[in-house]
């Protein structure tokens, strides 16, 4: 560690000397992220803009798709060969911190990192054990998406921010009756995803995992209640049967996009992609509240982070880039909030006037959600993916009527608690 | 051993030559020691550890193996799925491959075109394109269902590729459909059979069917053996198709072994456990392969050699 | 009279043959047609008119958008990388595998069976668990982010290819070797002059597989290559897909179709070497 620091300092010294003497030695930084063609193009463009402004720094992009990203990063970690800056995810960041792979950034705030326009609530989710390891690249919330004219057309009462589960169910039924299409193909995000259940759990003032991450943190009966509602809707044909749900693998074949359902649940930054895939204007609404809820179920989640890794060869230059990425207005205009609503108020204000369509809707829903949200729960324990797979397994057993919701709850709790306990050993 | 007809002295000098032998196999030996043996030893070591890839491994002795055998229903489920898959896919693949190779070995019009037509599907193998397409064919509103509804066999669409009863079957059908590689190997094998054998059979008045059973089939046994061994190995290790198309769903009905291993190692970050799973699989396939090798002396006809 | 009857019978036979092959051929080939047709379709049409093979309009833009690649690196670069990797490794593979196969099939030496079994054994370990250890080894050698890990191992004979060739060599009568010996050929000359020409079908088959596997190799490229300029096409193809956001299906299918072309050409060119043999037999049904 000391030696690396020494080397870094030495290099920094050389850089300054060379810079002063006019023959700048270039610093090379590797930046890794996942995404699609749009994100790759936009990010690379911003990197080039940055290089133009900072002639001494050369950035090499390393991009992949999401599926391969974590496999590659794991290999790089094993070889002590991590990219200097890596995109991180809320679900993975704790594991990386626990393994000592990321660098705490607190001491650079104000010295390299300018967060004067960033509200602390945006930074909070990037803190692990009280230290800042991830810089939030965009705020997100889950929501419903639907055709902009759906409620005028059908005459069904449009959702308000204060609507309840009862209202939601009534709306789905009415939509099904009026249009013949599924109200929603699933009951909030409940297929292959814990978010729907988590939302319900949070409304009861409980958390999905216990504080230590060694067991589930909520009552078994909440599981049964929630998936009973889902099953009821499925039996009525208001939500889609399991085989239809299993076939949904991308935004392009989402039933709402394909006009087989009226609504879809999504993360707010996905609205741009949904609207593009659907080819028609969409609007968003918040998820329902619970009558007599203990706290708000909704929360703001960082869509993703940038983190500086242990193997970083030049922290100062990395900070410079991150600072640019967060605070520069021109850069963010290029990035177009594709990673979610920018965290800098200055950037948001500058972009607000130019927003149209889906992007405008995204800014609006995040703003609305911030008024109806409670703070996000801590990142899940490392075994989260195994828990999600178990949930999924049990969920389909319920939908295919192999198990009742109560039996499902029992099986899920047994298996998930065992997984979490084993992982903590 | 037809070569024994010659004088024993010459045969011995031909057969035993350590220098030449090791020289010839040296490329593989060097590669084995250079690229294989260290990763293999590491993976054996890791199978006795708890290792999440991000932090250094921690020695836990036989715990992984104990957990797998006594405490992991998904391991047994994966084994069951994989055996079913292999038993379905291997015979179907070999059968189609052999029949079509025989049909395509004849000199006829368009035969080159036909071979391409039947081989190319195997080229799009485990790509994302196949996954999307397979869903379009066998999905709820897919082509198969439109057809079945039209002829009145079904009332509404049925999710062939996702329903718990048929999901694995749809993967087996996919495997049977991709018989291009063994077909190509059979073709090459048939091509190598000396024409003189067929000529003398024709003189004896054998018709095409008789020639097939008397000449093609016995002459082809080393290649059938090869395809049987390789298909058994490859189908035990099937991964891409299940990974891309079903992801093991619904509730692990299509969780093939290597998919489970991959999820354990890379998705759940339990690389030590995954290594233990890998060595168990090696043992299982090893036993089966050894059995096939054992059996070969009863049914494989070698022109020469064949004592490996 | 007899002759015409025979002709008619042959005609019917040949009609059944072609009819049968074409019918099944359509089912076999349907997915390829589907892929090509989808590569011209618009986003939504791919999913909504899935089993209509003829697109409403032919969107060449998919090819333009796909070829554009990412951040100024076009698919021209990715295909070039793939060509280098697959071409060179295939050559190495055929050359070394045939040597090793000859060693196992035709030379007796101490430990022959043992090493052959070891070789088969390496086939039985799922490659997925070797990815991380191999990364560590390649990283140690300084090979990460170069083509080396994707090419050089192929110069050390692949078990599949060796086994395949061993089986073909064992179909060649030993008398040929002995005749060569009497003419004064050493083992190397026997390998080069007698065995190699006689296992051409196996070499071609092996080459087709080797090229194709290397062309499609995604996982190792993902692990070992970092710089996008060095990505092979197999890896670049995956970059279109993002289940969390827009997947550019049209562009992806367009490039997937293009990526089939080289392996298709290789197959067409070499498959004709796999037929003649029997044609010269004059065997009539």
Q: A70 in helix, strand or coil?
A: helix
Q: Is residue A323 part of a domain?
A: yes
A113 and A14 both lie in a single domain = yes
Two tokens, residue A189? 């995000």
In angstroms, the separation between the Cα of residue B170 and the nearest Cα of chain C is: 15
- Residues of chain C found within 8 Å of residue B104, distances taken between Cβ atoms: 275
Do A314 and A353 lie in a common domain? yes
Specify the DSSP class assigned to residue A146.
Answer: E
Lowest mean pLDDT among A139-148, B109-118, B250-259, C76-85: B109-118
In this complex, is the C-beta atom of C270 within 8 Å of any C-beta atom belonging to chain B? Answer: no
Task: Provide the pLDDT confidence category of residue C283 given band limits of 50, 70 and 90.
Answer: very low
Same domain, A316 and A276: no
Q: What pairing do the DSSP bridges indicate for beta strands A182-184 and A261-267? A: parallel
Report residue C57's pLDDT band, with 50, 70 and 90 as the boundaries: confident
| Tens-digit pLDDT profile for residues A122-170 | 898 999 888 999 999 998 999 999 998 988 999 889 899 999 999 999 9
A24 in the same domain as A103? yes
- Do A282 and A359 fall into the same domain? no
Residue A6's pLDDT is 55
Read off the CATH number of the domain in which A339 is found. Answer: 3.40.190.10
Mean pLDDT over all residues of chain A?
A: 89
Helix (H, G, I), strand (E, B) or coil at A32: strand
Residue B147: pLDDT above 50? yes
Apex A103 CA angle, B50 and A311, nearest 5: 75
Chain C partners of B103 at a C-beta cutoff of 8 Å? Answer: 17, 21
| Statement to judge: residues C130 and C47 lie in one domain | no
- pLDDT at residue A20 is higher than 50: no
pLDDT at residue number B2: 38
With cut-offs at 50, 70 and 90, classify the pLDDT of residue B48: very high
Domain assignment present for residue A377? The answer is no
Whether the pLDDT of residue B9 is over 90: the answer is no
Does C72 contact chain A (CB < 8 Å)? yes
Alpha-carbon distance of B61 to B48, in angstroms, equals 5
pLDDT range class, residue B13, cuts 50, 70, 90: very low
Quote the minimal CA–CA distance from C228 to chain A in Å. Answer: 6
Question: Can you tell me the mean pLDDT for C72-86?
Answer: 93
Same domain, C12 and C28: yes
* A-proximal residues of C, 242-261, CB under 8 Å: 242-249, 251
pLDDT greater than 90 at residue B215: no
Q: In terms of domains, do C92 and C210 share one?
A: yes
Give the model's pLDDT for residue B8: 37
What confidence score (pLDDT) does residue C277 get?
A: 47
Do residue A389 and residue B263 have CB atoms under 8 angstroms apart?
Answer: yes
Which range has the worst mean pLDDT, A3-17, A250-264, A292-306? A3-17
- C184 in the same domain as C80: yes
Whether residues A294 and A217 fall in one domain: yes
C44 lies in the same domain as C76: no
pLDDT mean across residues, chain B: 85
Average pLDDT over residues B255-281: 93
Instruction: Tell me, yes or no, if B38 comes closer than 8 A to chain C by beta carbon.
Output: yes
Q: Determine the distance in angstroms separating the CA of B152 from the nearest CA of chain C, rounded to an integer.
A: 19
Q: Give one DSSP letter per residue of A257-326, joined into a string.
A: TTTSEEEEEEEGGGHHHHHHHHTS-EEEEPPPB-TT-SS-----EES-EEEEBTT-S-HHHHHHHHHHHH
Percent of chain A surpassing pLDDT 90:
60
Residues A184 and A248 in one domain: yes
Hey, are the CB atoms on C205 and B184 less than 8 Å from each other? yes
Contacts of C219 in chain A (CB under 8 A): 71
Same domain, C39 and C118: no
Confidence tier at A397 by pLDDT (50, 70, 90): very high
- Which among C218, C212, C247 has a CA at the least distance from the CA of C234? C218
Asked if the peptide bond before residue B250 counts as cis, ω within 30 degrees of 0, the response is yes
More confident residue, A358 or A16: A358
How high is the pLDDT of residue C184? Answer: 85
Same domain, A109 and A239: no
Q: Do C247 and A36 touch (CB under 8 A)?
A: yes
User: In whole numbers, what is the pLDDT of chain C averaged over residues?
Assistant: 85
In a domain, A378, yes or no: no
pLDDT category at A386 given cuts 50, 70, 90 is very high
pLDDT of residue B89: 94
CB A275 within 8 A of CB A134: no
Q: Strand B58-59 vs strand A127-128: parallel, antiparallel, or unpaired? A: unpaired
Nearest Cα of chain C lies from the Cα of A193 at a distance, in angstroms, of: 13
Checking DSSP bridges between strand A139-140 and strand B49-50, what pairing results, if any?
unpaired
According to DSSP, the β-strands at A27-34 and A85-88 are: parallel
DSSP A13: H
Range of the domain at A225: 142-298+383-424
Q: Which residues touch B205 (CB under 8 Å, ≥6 apart)?
A: none
From residue B190, give the alpha-carbon distance in Å to each of B2, C168, C170.
21, 11, 14
SS3 A29: strand
pLDDT greater than 80 at residue A272? yes
pLDDT band at B255 (very low <50, low <70, confident <90, very high): very high
Q: How many folded domains does chain A comprise?
A: 2
A96 touches chain B (CB under 8 A): yes
**pLDDT of res. A112:** 87
Q: How many domains does chain C have?
A: 2
Q: Choose among C17, C136, C212: nearest Cβ to B108.
A: C17
Res A82 pLDDT > 90? yes
C50 touches chain A (CB under 8 A): no
Partners for C (CB, 8 Å, 3+ pairs)?
A: A, B
- The pLDDT score that the predictor gives to residue C50 is 66
Percent of chain A with pLDDT over 70: 94
Between B92 and B201, the more confident residue is B92
pLDDT more than 90, % of chain C: 34
CATH number for the domain formed by residue range(s) B74-261+274-297: 1.10.3720.10
- H/E element holding C204? helix C200-216
The pLDDT of residue B286 is 94
Asked if A161 and A70 sit in the same domain, the reply is no
State whether A96 and A147 are in the same domain. no
Q: How much is the pLDDT for C17?
A: 85
Among A61-70, A265-274, B35-44, B239-248, the least confident range: B239-248
Residue of A nearest to B52 (CA): A74
Same domain, C87 and C15: no
Question: Residue B292 corresponds to which tokens in the numbers above?
Answer: 């096939």
Q: Which domain holds residue C85?
A: 69-239
- Are A42 and A118 found together in one domain? yes
pLDDT (tens digit per residue) in C133-192: 999 899 988 999 999 999 999 999 999 999 999 998 988 888 888 888 888 888 888 898
- pLDDT at site B65: 96
Considering only A17-26, A295-304, C11-20, C236-245, which range has the smallest mean pLDDT? Answer: A17-26
User: What is the distance in angstroms between the CA of the first residue and the CA of the last residue of chain C?
Assistant: 18
């Amino acid at each position: 560690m000391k030696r690396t620091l020494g080397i870094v300092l030495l290099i920094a010294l050389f850089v300054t000397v060379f810079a002063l003497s006019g023959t700048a030695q270039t610093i090379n930084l590797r930046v890794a992220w996942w995404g699609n063609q749009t994100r790759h193009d936009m990010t690379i463009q911003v990197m080039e803009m940055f290089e133009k402004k900072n002639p001494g720094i050369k950035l090499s992009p390393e991009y992949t798709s999401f599926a391969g990203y974590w496999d590659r990063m794991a290999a790089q970690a094993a070889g002590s060969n991590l990219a200097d800056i890596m995109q991180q995810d809320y679900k993975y960041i704790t594991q990386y911190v626990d393994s000592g792979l990321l660098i705490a950034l607190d001491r650079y705030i104000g010295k390299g990192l300018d967060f004067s326009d960033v509200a602390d609530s945006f930074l909070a989710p990037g803190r692990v054990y009280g230290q800042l390891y991830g810089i939030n690249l965009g705020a997100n919330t889950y929501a419903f998406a639907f055709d902009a004219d759906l409620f005028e057309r059908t005459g069904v009462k449009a959702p308000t921010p204060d609507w309840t589960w009862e209202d939601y169910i009534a709306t789905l039924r009415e939509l099904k009756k009026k249009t013949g299409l599924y109200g929603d193909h699933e009951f909030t995000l409940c297929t292959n995803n814990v978010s729907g259940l988590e939302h319900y759990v949070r409304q009861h003032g409980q958390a999905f995992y216990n504080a230590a991450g060694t067991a589930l943190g909520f009552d078994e009966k909440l599981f049964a209640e929630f998936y009973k509602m889902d099953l009821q809707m499925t039996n009525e044909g208001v939500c889609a049967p399991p085989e239809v749900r299993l076939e949904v693998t991308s935004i392009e074949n989402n039933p709402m996009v394909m006009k087989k359902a009226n609504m879809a649940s999504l993360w707010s930054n996905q609205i741009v992609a949904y609207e593009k895939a659907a080819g028609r204007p969409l609007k968003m609404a918040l998820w329902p509240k619970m009558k007599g809820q203990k706290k708000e179920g909704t929360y703001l989640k960082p869509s993703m982070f940038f983190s500086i890794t242990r193997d970083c060869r030049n922290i100062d230059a990395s900070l410079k880039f991150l600072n640019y990425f967060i605070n520069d207005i021109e850069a963010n205009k290029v990035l177009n909030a594709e990673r979610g609503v920018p965290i800098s108020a200055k950037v948001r204000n500058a972009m607000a006037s130019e927003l149209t369509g889906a992007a405008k809707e995204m800014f609006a829903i995040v703003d609305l959600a911030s008024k109806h949200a409670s703070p996000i729960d801590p990142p899940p324990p490392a075994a989260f993916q195994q828990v999600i797979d178990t949930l999924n397994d049990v969920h389909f057993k319920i939908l295919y009527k192999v198990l009742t919701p109560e039996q499902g709850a029992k099986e899920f709790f047994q298996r998930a608690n065992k997984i979490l306990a084993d992982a903590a050993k | 051993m037809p070569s024994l007809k010659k004088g024993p002295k010459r045969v011995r000098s031909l057969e035993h030559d350590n220098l030449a032998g090791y020289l010839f196999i040296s490329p593989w030996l060097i590669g084995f020691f250079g690229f294989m043996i260290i990763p293999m030893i590491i993976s054996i070591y890791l199978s006795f550890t708890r290792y999440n890839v991000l932090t250094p491994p921690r020695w836990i002795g036989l715990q992984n193996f104990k957990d797998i055998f006594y405490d992991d229903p998904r391991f047994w489920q994966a084994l069951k799925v994989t055996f079913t898959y292999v038993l379905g896919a291997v015979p179907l693949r070999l059968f189609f491959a052999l029949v079509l190779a025989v049909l395509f070995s004849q000199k006829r019009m368009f035969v080159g075109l036909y071979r391409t037509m039947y081989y190319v599907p195997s080229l799009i193998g485990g790509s994302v394109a196949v996954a999307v397409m397979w869903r379009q064919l066998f999905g709820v509103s897919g082509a198969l269902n439109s057809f079945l509804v039209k002829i009145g066999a079904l009332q509404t669409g049925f999710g062939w590729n996702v329903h718990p009863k048929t999901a694995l079957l749809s993967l087996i059908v996919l495997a049977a459909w991709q018989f291009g590689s063994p077909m190509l190997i059979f073709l090459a094998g048939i091509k190598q059979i000396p024409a003189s054998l067929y000529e003398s059979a024709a003189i004896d008045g054998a018709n095409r069917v008789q020639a097939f059973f008397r000449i093609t089939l016995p002459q082809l046994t080393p290649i059938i053996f090869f395809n049987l061994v390789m298909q058994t190995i490859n189908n035990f290790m099937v991964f891409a198709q299940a990974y891309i198309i079903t992801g093991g769903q619904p509730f692990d009905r299509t969780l093939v072994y290597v998919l489970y291993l991959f999820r354990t190692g890379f998705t759940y970050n339990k690389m030590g456990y995954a290594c233990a799973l890998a060595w168990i699989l090696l043992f299982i396939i090893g036993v089966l392969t050894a059995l096939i090798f054992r059996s070969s002396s009863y049914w494989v006809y070698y022109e020469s050699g064949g004592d490996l | 009279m007899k002759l015409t009857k025979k002709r008619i019978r042959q005609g019917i036979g040949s009609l059944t043959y072609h009819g049968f092959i074409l019918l099944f051929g359509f089912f076999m080939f349907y997915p390829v047609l589907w892929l090509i047709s989808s590569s011209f379709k618009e986003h939504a049409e791919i999913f909504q008119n899935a089993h209509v093979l003829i697109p409403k309009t032919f969107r060449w833009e998919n090819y333009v958008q796909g070829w554009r690649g990412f951040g100024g690196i076009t698919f021209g670069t990715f295909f070039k990388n793939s060509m280098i990797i697959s071409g060179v490794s295939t050559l190495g593979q055929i050359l070394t595998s045939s040597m090793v196969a000859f060693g196992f099939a035709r030379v007796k030496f101490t430990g022959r069976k043992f090493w052959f079994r070891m070789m088969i054994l390496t086939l039985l370990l799922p490659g997925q668990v070797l990815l991380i250890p191999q990364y560590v080894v390649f990283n140690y050698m300084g090979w990460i982010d170069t083509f080396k890990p994707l090419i050089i191992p192929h110069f050390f004979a692949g078990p599949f290819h060796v086994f395949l060739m061993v089986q073909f060599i064992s179909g060649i009568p030993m008398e040929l070797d002995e005749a060569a010996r009497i003419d004064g050929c050493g083992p190397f000359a026997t390998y080069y002059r007698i065995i190699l020409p006689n296992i051409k079908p196996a070499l071609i088959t092996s080459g087709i597989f080797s090229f194709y596997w290397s062309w499609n190799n995604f996982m190792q490229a993902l692990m070992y290559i970092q710089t996008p300029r060095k990505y092979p096409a197999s890896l670049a193809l995956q970059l279109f897909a993002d289940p969390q956001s827009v997947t550019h299906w049209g562009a992806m299918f367009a490039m997937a179709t293009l990526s089939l072309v080289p392996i298709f050409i290789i197959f067409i060119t070499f498959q004709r070497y796999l037929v003649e043999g029997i044609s010269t037999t004059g065997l009539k049904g």
